[in-house]
A = this chain, B = another copy of it.
């Protein structure tokens, strides 16, 4: 009944499309592939495949994740941050701080 879309009182007007909704199917497909990559790496270790080949797959997975993160961040800036900026005031400051912190985590991870 109550599905997952119940209003979230904070960071979200009640309909709150979180920006990436337009591309949601594409994100889900990319994340399915990422899950498959993770499973593949597990299998490679299980089968004791060659380290270097496993490392290559880990780099590929990391790049794929990075791509998703950069896409989500771009969507977030385009929608949530722009909306908050229009409101101005503290709401805008909070959104910017949040975005900057997320960027720092991405750059450093």
Question: Which residues of B have CB within 8 Å of A97?
Answer: 74
Considering the complex, which residues of chain A in the window 64-99 have a beta carbon less than 8 Å from any beta carbon of chain B? 65-66, 68-70, 72-78, 80-82, 85-86, 88, 92-93, 96-99
Can you name 30 A-B pairs with beta carbons within 8 Å?
Answer: A4-B47, A4-B48, A5-B47, A8-B50, A12-B48, A12-B49, A17-B48, A18-B51, A21-B48, A24-B46, A28-B42, A28-B45, A31-B42, A31-B45, A34-B38, A34-B41, A35-B38, A51-B72, A51-B80, A54-B72, A56-B105, A58-B65, A61-B65, A66-B107, A70-B103, A74-B96, A82-B85, A82-B92, A86-B86, A103-B106
